Structure 1
Amino acid sequence: MAEEREYRMEELARRAGVTVRTVRFYRERGLLSPPRRQGRIAWYDDHHLARLRTISALLERGHTLNGIADLAKAFESGRDVGEALGLVEPSEETPVRLTPEELADLFEGEVTPENLAGSLELGYLAIDGDEIVHISRRLLEVSAALVREGVPLAVVLDAGRRVRTHADALAGLFTEVLRTHLPEGDVERLRPLAKSVVEAELSMALDRRLREEPPGA
């Protein structure tokens, strides 16, 4: 593992491509965490450098400093979510690690403080240092695809909240059935059968809805 570097303010600013005055301004706005003090010398590290580069990238994408400050607050509020992720049971879903810039590229123009806070609230996102963790690669890819097709991210997140309610109810139904009629050890083994039933029923329900409600109706 590479040793973390430390920088004086002048070198930090040079590496980040900003001025020393800008670094001071961001510190005053609370966008940068305080440096490590050694006597009268302030030492900054790679986390500060990553944050400065992130701020520059977000500014280039049209975010305001007020918006970035809100994002930073939302990031901080997600730390408890990140800790909670380490306590959940093993899942079939594969988490994905992203930089803030990569997340902004996936959802161009849609990574607003409100959408970020909503994703944190749902548990889709968590913050781990300077990286963002999405709990499910499949969910991330589907969400990004919907946004590319023109569905606003806020609408995707709202749909996710509503789907979760029904998904929890379905999961409760199947676990009750399996635990009532099978030994405990067989419940996890037969989990794919429950998923297949849900997928088949959803497919048939979509067929019915599409027949009943033609486009533009």
Structure 2
Amino acid sequence: MDNGAEAREYRTEELARAAGITVRTLRFYRERKLLPPPRREGRIAWYDSRHLARLRTITALLERGHTLTGIADLASTFESGRDVGELLGLGEDSAPATWTEETPVRLTPEDLADYFAGEVTPENFAAALELGYLATDGEEIVHVSRRLLDVSAALVREGVPLAAVLKAGREVRKHTTAMAEIFTDMVRTHMSGAATDDALGDATDDATEDPAASLERLRPLAKSVVEAELSMALDRIMRAEKDA
């Protein structure tokens, strides 16, 4: 058998010992479908590093107060989630996306539990997958935006339930998509020929710049408009709250 960590396989007793649990506990987890099926070679069950990682995750989640039923539901949701390539619209041979400004964050399930203590339920996990905040990559979870992850965690720490954060995120998504479409339509309508960028102090001689390139070049202007309008909207609301 290959001695490399990546290819290491374990018999039942070896896996239990590596995970720090009993063989009976391992078999119980397998019966509860908390583990993917092992590879069979005759009557021998062979497990690999993915099974060991799953067992360590189960232990970590139990220590954080999750029930076995909740972990089983979470594992089922995790395994049925979209992978990173599907989320970004990339094929297996596609290069990583360069058109996004967001930084993905790789997390283990226990990392996610630490970010949102007590809030990582199967329902919230499924909602985050459906919204596109989370994707899967093998045994890892990927949050598609460091900024959104940090903001969501900060709101939960302030006492806002994660379910409410995700519900708000779904509503914000609708409005930001509409704003992006407004900006895109404006660029397509008024920048079909020469592309000058006086506002950014950067002119280009390329008279056939495609819409995608124009959008990428003018992205900072769109972001500034949205940030300023949101800031002023919050000003109006806070003023009204003080005057109430």
The corresponding residue for 2:230 is: 202
Q: Is the CA contact (8 Å cut-off) linking 1:81 and 1:123 kept in structure 2?
A: no
Q: Secondary structure at the match of 1:190?
A: helix
Q: Is the CA contact (8 Å cut-off) linking 1:8 and 1:43 kept in structure 2?
A: yes
Q: How does 1:41-60 map to 2 (within 5 A)?
A: 41-60=44-63
What is the aligned-residue identity percentage? 73
The corresponding residue for 2:220 is: 192
Q: Is the CA contact (8 Å cut-off) linking 2:74 and 2:122 kept in structure 1?
A: yes
Following the alignment from structure 2 to structure 1, what is the Cα–Cα distance between the partners of residues 39 and 28? 17
Q: CA RMSD in A?
A: 1.6
Following the alignment from structure 1 to structure 2, what is the Cα–Cα distance between the partners of residues 16 and 86? 34
The corresponding residue for 2:73 is: 70
TM-score, normalised on structure 2? 0.84
Following the alignment from structure 1 to structure 2, what is the Cα–Cα distance between the partners of residues 186 and 170? 16
Following the alignment from structure 1 to structure 2, what is the Cα–Cα distance between the partners of residues 61 and 187? 45
Following the alignment from structure 1 to structure 2, what is the Cα–Cα distance between the partners of residues 186 and 160? 28
Question: 1:40–1:81: structure 2 CA closer, same or farther, 3 Å change rule?
Answer: closer
Cα distance, 1:127 vs structure 2 = 1.4
Q: Which moved more, 1:186-195 or 1:87-96?
A: 87-96
The corresponding residue for 1:26 is: 29
Q: Secondary structure at the match of 2:242?
A: coil
TM-score, normalised on structure 1? 0.94
Q: Secondary structure at the match of 1:127?
A: strand
The corresponding residue for 2:87 is: 85
Q: Is the CA contact (8 Å cut-off) linking 2:124 and 2:162 kept in structure 1?
A: yes
Following the alignment from structure 2 to structure 1, what is the Cα–Cα distance between the partners of residues 44 and 5? 24
Q: Secondary structure at the match of 1:157?
A: helix
- Is 1:111 matched up with 2:120? yes
Q: Answer with 1 or 2: which has the greater Rg.
A: 2
Q: Secondary structure at the match of 1:213?
A: helix
Q: How does 1:145-160 map to 2 (within 5 A)?
A: 145-160=154-169
Q: How many residues align?
A: 215
Q: Deviations 1:132-180 (Å, cap 9, x if unpaired)?
A: 0001000000101111111111111011001001001000000000111
Following the alignment from structure 2 to structure 1, what is the Cα–Cα distance between the partners of residues 170 and 83? 17
Cα distance, 1:25 vs structure 2 = 1.0
**Gaps in structure 1 of 5+ consecutive residues:** none
Cα distance, 1:81 vs structure 2 = 4.6
Q: Which moved more, 1:114-123 or 1:80-89?
A: 80-89
Displacement over 6 Å in runs of 4+: none
Q: Is the CA contact (8 Å cut-off) linking 2:19 and 2:52 kept in structure 1?
A: yes
- Structure number with the bigger relative contact order (C-alpha 8 A, sep ≥ 6) is 1
